Amino acid sequence: MKKVVDLLVDRLAGLVPRHAIVLGSGLGSLVDEVRDQVRISYGELEGFPASGVTGHAGELVAGYLGSEPVIMLSGRAHYYEHGDAKAMRFPIEVMKGLGVRSLILTNSAGSLREDMPPGSVMQIADHINYSGMNPLIGESGDGRFVGMTSAYDADLALDMRNAAIRCGIPLFSGVYMWFSGPSFETPAEIRMARILGADAVGMSTVPEVILARYFGLKVAAASVITNFGAGMTGAELSHEETKDMAPVGGQRLAAILKEMFA
């Protein structure tokens, strides 16, 4: 890890980010909000995973968002690509090594609420790990027993809500349920998720939250809603719909994050 951290310190040339942001499917345009950019391909960073999902650039972008120095991870590796829940362990550990204190996670998700249509932004208040997978399986020591009662930092959540208010952008709040993917959920699974208390479903983020808490990072997260869950409209779901709709809510989320760090 030290080799990659040293390389990044050298390439960042004095920039010391305290916040890292992971960008989900179709949300890569958020990097356009970063000033004084330094771009580094994941391919240059030994140990960083290559994403095989369209809509994920696979590069690290550092610079200023608002007045804050940040690092954006434009693209993530998913459990469904490799069958490995700890696919993002090394990048998150590197962020910790750089001195990052908080991790902001974004994703594209399906809404389970009729009042939260595609194009909306939902702050993740809590999650349900329906996959049953955990990125800490195989870790040793007592540190692996990570408490998740306050997985999502209250202060960061408040900062995000206040930023949305200042921007005049509605910000929903709800519970995100992680399904392993890559197939979309069935209508029966969506009905089950609603009964269990989920407000949105997706195929990422939860392992990263667990890893971030393992490394002592504060966490905030938000979903851009790209579709309604299976069976809610009668239409079939597709990744193309995700990519087409993500920029709609993505612009709103970009404005919120920029204001959050203003």
**Per-residue pLDDT tens digits for 151-172:** 999 999 999 999 999 999 999 9
3-state class (DSSP) for residue 134: coil
Kind of pairing between the strands at 59-65 and 68-74: antiparallel
Residue 99 contacts residue 16 (beta carbons within 8 Å): yes
Helices (H) and strands (E) in the chain, counts: 7, 9
Kind of pairing between the strands at 102-111 and 121-129: unpaired
Q: Which residue has the tokens 């971030």?
A: 212
Q: Evaluate if pTM is beyond 0.75.
A: yes
Report pLDDT for 244: 79
The first and second tokens of residue 47, run together, are 């140990």
**Averaged pLDDT, 235-262:** 84
Kind of pairing between the strands at 200-202 and 172-178: parallel
Residue 37 contacts residue 69 (beta carbons within 8 Å): no
Mean pLDDT of the chain: 92
**How do the domains of the chain map onto residue ranges?**
2-260
In tens, the pLDDT along 183-236 reads 999 999 999 999 999 999 999 999 999 999 999 999 999 999 999 999 998 778
3-state class (DSSP) for residue 119: coil
Report pLDDT for 239: 75
Angle of helix 89-98 versus helix 2-12 axis, rounded to 10? 60
User: For residue 28, what pLDDT band results from cuts at 50, 70 and 90?
Assistant: confident
Residue 180 contacts residue 82 (beta carbons within 8 Å): no
Report pLDDT for 54: 54
**Averaged pLDDT, 87-108:** 96
User: For residue 72, what pLDDT band results from cuts at 50, 70 and 90?
Assistant: very high
The first and second tokens of residue 61, run together, are 């972008």
Instruction: Tell me the CATH architecture of domain 2-260.
Output: 3-Layer(aba) Sandwich (3.40)
How far is the CA of 247 from the CAs of 74, 107, 145, 219, in angstroms?
14, 11, 37, 23
Of 112, 28, 35, 4, residue with least CA distance to 76 = 28
Q: Which of 73-87, 107-121, 135-149 has the lowest mean pLDDT?
A: 73-87
Of 104, 121, 128, residue with least CA distance to 202 = 128
Q: How many CA atoms lie within 13 A of 46 on its CB side?
A: 7
Q: How many residues does the chain have?
A: 262
Kind of pairing between the strands at 19-23 and 102-111: parallel
